[in-house]
Structure 1
């Protein structure tokens, strides 16, 4: 996705319309407008640390700690 954000950034700098960018790069309008805001604010195109937590790799250490925490207090599983 970072390469797509960079491509969107390059096209925005080249004064290409949002509709054309969506068609050419294959991203949503939201991505284009978010990238545009970041460029105008002078922010980095990099994602914030900690985002996209659903793709985190579950290491053995993490799983051992998680299971230990569940064994100590099973009520954390109850909504």
Structure 2
């Protein structure tokens, strides 16, 4: 566990809000609107991949290790 769930939550909120807001605010042809939403979601997935690589690199370097002694209640 890398204790970075807050980053995933923030990305999930953005990943939900962006397509819905684009569908709400865009006017015109449904095909053009879906193309814009598809490109936006593809960009958000690229950002998610970068975030996942960043968190895994931090974990591999030992910055996000959980202290087992502090998590075990005696």
TM-score (norm 2): 0.25
**Rg larger in 1 or in 2?**
1
